[in-house]
Amino acid sequence: MDEQGLQDRDFKYVLQDAGAIYLGARYSYGELLEEDMMAFKLKTIISHYILKDVDASTTLESHFYYMTPDSFSYQTFRELKVKIKVSLPEEKRSLTGKVKHSYRDKIYTLKELAGLNLAKKKQLGLIIREVVIPKLGLMGFTV
């Protein structure tokens, strides 16, 4: 497996706890539909609502990066009360003046992320890492 494949695998996961489902952002919607660990209701929402707006080969990372508030999938994810975990590059200077590059994680609401225009996302160097779907939002969504 090449280095890119290994990196992608690090960001392809489905985890859940008592309050939420966490999806690695490198998953495509087609891969999520085939994933055994995915909740049936979430698979149904993807196939009936999300795939009307995007292609199955689209990754979560790409979809959320380019999502706008007027898209149908935005409305669907808003109903699910989705949050998005991103990494933002930052520079820290030591006392000696040496610059250290690192990333800091930040959680955005869907409204905050979609409200940033593409130029601002590029300026920030924003990288989408994870999609968080609260179980309460999933329970309240009627299919």
Whole-number pLDDT of residue 100:
87
109 backbone dihedrals φ, ψ, rounded to 5°: -75, 165
Assign domain 3-135 to a CATH class. alpha beta
Residue 85, strand partner residues: 107, 130
Question: Where exactly are the structural domains of the chain?
Answer: 3-135
- For the segment 21-53, what is each residue's pLDDT rounded down to a tens digit? 999 999 999 999 999 989 999 999 999 999 999
> In a 10 Å sphere around its CB, with 0-12 CB exposed, 13-18 middle and 19+ buried, how is residue 31 labelled?
middle
Whole-number pLDDT of residue 35:
94
Closest Cα to residue 51, out of 34, 77, 30? Answer: 30
Question: Mean pLDDT for the chain?
Answer: 91
